[in-house]
Amino acid sequence: MDCFVKVSADGKAVISRAVGVLNTASYQLMRSKIVESVKNSNAKQILVDMRQAVVSASVIEIYHVATASIEMFPAGFRYAIVYSDKTITEENARFGETVARNRGALVKIFRDLSDAKKWLAIPEMENV
């Protein structure tokens, strides 16, 4: 799995893109890069583009990832996760979103990158 992480031009968001098979270990690597970027930038929003990734995780692993993500960032962070039909089933994507929301996360899943950018107030011209 390849992952790319950058800070938006205005410094308000960390933008990440994953390509390839995404398992628990590769997700943890991507998450650590996101955490480092957040610390260095003071960003309060995270956009994760997973449209070119394939999630290889069980339901219990999705549960643990969603729970651990809440512990990584303080309250007030907004997360947008963009996925495709090849990334993960809608049922599993909604499950992860629900787990995170039930623990107080401001997270929302999207199929459309433009909608995710709008929700996070990231300019459309910002490349992912």
This prediction's pTM: 0.91
Label residues 31-65 b or e (16+ Cβ within 10 Å = b): bebbeebbeeeebbbbbbbbbebbbebeeeebbeb
Q: Residue 127: is its pLDDT beyond 90?
A: no
All domains in the chain, ordered by first residue: 2-120 (3.30.750.24)
Average per-residue pLDDT for the chain: 90
Measured distance CA(119)–CA(73) in Å, rounded: 19
Name the nearest CA neighbour of 113 among 105, 122, 104: 122
pLDDT band at residue 28 under the 50/70/90 scheme = confident
Q: Which residue has the tokens 């995404």?
A: 22
Average pLDDT over residues 111-121: 95
CA angle 9/82/17 to nearest 5° reads 55
